[in-house]
């Protein structure tokens, strides 16, 4: 039943939880929200921030469920682990990008941060993401924020 403007627009536009092309071929998401830059579409900053916050919460919760000890790391090293999980997913050891994940996890878990950082720098992942990996490795090693 249509009871308000929101219901009416949703009825006409549909509700799609992924990017799709509308009837004219323009990229759209959600309930008819145009994101195609060819037509001036975009996501507002507050929506991007809300989506990022949602993703951080989901990825960090998944990591903490898999590796509960991560909660006990200092803020910087915990952030490194969250960032890596955001980038690689929860099970990078199943991928060729990070072949020595189990060793890396053991190194971080036991406070061997310099070894973990060295491990990070030698992976295919590090070659693929370049400066990101080098920044995260330095943060892992030093426990200090890097920009």
Written in H, E and C, the secondary structure of 50-118 is HHHHHHHHHHHHHHHHHCHHHHHCCHHHHHHHHHHHHHHCCCHHHCHHHCCHHHHHHHHHCCCHHHHHH
| Distance of alpha carbon 43 from alpha carbon 9, whole angstroms | 19
Provide the token pair at 89: 């997913």
- pLDDT attached to residue 77: 98
- pLDDT attached to residue 99: 54
- pLDDT above 50 (res 5): yes
| Distance of alpha carbon 110 from alpha carbon 104, whole angstroms | 10
pLDDT tens across 58-117, in order?
Answer: 999 989 988 899 999 999 999 999 999 999 887 654 455 455 678 899 999 999 999 999
| Distance of alpha carbon 147 from alpha carbon 136, whole angstroms | 10
Kindly state the DSSP code that residue 33 receives in the 8-state scheme: E
Domains of the chain with bracketed CATH: 5-39 (no CATH), 45-142 (1.10.530.40)
| Distance of alpha carbon 14 from alpha carbon 16, whole angstroms | 6
| Distance of alpha carbon 69 from alpha carbon 16, whole angstroms | 37
pTM: 0.85
């Amino acid at each position: 039943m249509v009871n308000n403007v929101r219901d009416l627009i949703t009825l006409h536009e549909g509700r799609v939880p992924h990017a799709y092309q509308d009837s004219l071929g323009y990229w759209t998401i959600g309930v008819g929200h145009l994101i195609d830059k060819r037509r001036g579409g975009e996501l507002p900053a507050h929506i991007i921030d809300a989506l990022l916050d949602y993703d951080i919460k989901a990825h960090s919760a998944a990591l903490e469920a898999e590796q509960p000890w991560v909660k006990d790391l200092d803020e910087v090293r915990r952030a490194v682990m969250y960032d890596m999980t955001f980038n690689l997913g929860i099970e990078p050891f199943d991928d060729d990008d990070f072949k020595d994940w189990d060793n890396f996890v053991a190194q971080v878990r036991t406070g061997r941060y310099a070894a973990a950082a060295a491990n990070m720098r030698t992976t295919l992942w590090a070659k693929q993401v370049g400066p990101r990996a080098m920044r995260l490795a330095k943060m892992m090693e030093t426990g200090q924020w890097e920009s």
